[in-house]
């Protein structure tokens, strides 16, 4: 490895950051503790605060696939989130804890514990703002990129073996 390549890898690894994740959907439904985002966007937005101010997207499927990764994963330490739902004449915000995510086509669902606010049974356009605490690696980390590639390969191999 050349000296330049080494310093680039070290620099990229030190560029790890904590990001806020945002999922958007055309609508939402809530029933028996299960929140479903209907018409979920195919990508999940992430962004960081100062000083880096990094923004980007990962696929919503990749977001789900990495839910349990790392020592302090979202599976081990479920994240808080704010669901902001738009209806005809109001915006409704509910603070929740997210668990047990599932993706089925363009429907992404979570088991939720409501911490603050009242969850509507149905709603229009929705944005889910997911806290960063517990997310193990970031999309710009070289180590994270390599780790995600290995995970994807293992998942694809498992899917092929099930067929």
Average pLDDT over residues 134-153: 45
pLDDT at 141: 39
Percentages helix, strand, coil for the chain, rounded to the nearest 5?
Answer: 25, 40, 35
How confident is the model at residue 163, as a pLDDT? Answer: 62
Share of the chain above pLDDT 90, in %: 51
What is the pLDDT, as a whole number, of residue 53?
79
Confidence of residue 126 (pLDDT cuts 50, 70, 90): very high
pLDDT grade for 152, boundaries at 50, 70 and 90: low
pLDDT at 34: 98
The confidence score (pLDDT) of residue 30 equals 98
Q: What is the pLDDT of residue 151?
A: 53
Please check the confidence at residue 161 and state whether its pLDDT lies above 80: no
Q: What is the mean pLDDT of residues 143-155?
A: 50
Q: For residue range 43-64, list pLDDT tens digits in order.
A: 999 887 777 778 889 999 999 9
Q: Give the range among 34-38, 97-101, 116-120, 133-137 with minimum mean pLDDT.
A: 133-137
Answer whether 0.75 is exceeded by the pTM: no
Token pair 């067929």 is found at 163
Residue-wise over 133-149: b if at least 16 C-beta within 10 A, else e?
ebbbbbbbbbebeebbe
């Amino acid at each position: 490895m050349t000296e330049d390549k080494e310093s680039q890898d070290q620099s990229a690894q030190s560029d790890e950051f904590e990001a806020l994740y945002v999922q958007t959907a055309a609508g939402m439904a809530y029933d028996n503790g299960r929140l479903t985002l209907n018409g979920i966007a195919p990508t999940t937005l992430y962004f960081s605060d100062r000083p880096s101010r990094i923004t980007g997207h990962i696929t919503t499927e990749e977001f789900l696939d990495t839910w349990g990764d790392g020592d302090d994963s979202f599976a081990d330490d479920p994240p808080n989130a704010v669901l902001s739902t738009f209806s005809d004449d109001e915006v409704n915000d509910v603070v929740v804890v997210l668990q047990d995510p599932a993706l089925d086509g363009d429907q992404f669902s979570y088991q939720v514990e409501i911490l603050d606010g009242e969850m509507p049974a149905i709603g229009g356009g929705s944005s889910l703002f997911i806290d960063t605490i517990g997310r193990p690696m970031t999309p710009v980390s070289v180590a994270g990129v390599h780790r995600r590639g290995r995970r994807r390969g293992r998942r694809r191999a498992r899917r092929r073996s099930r067929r």
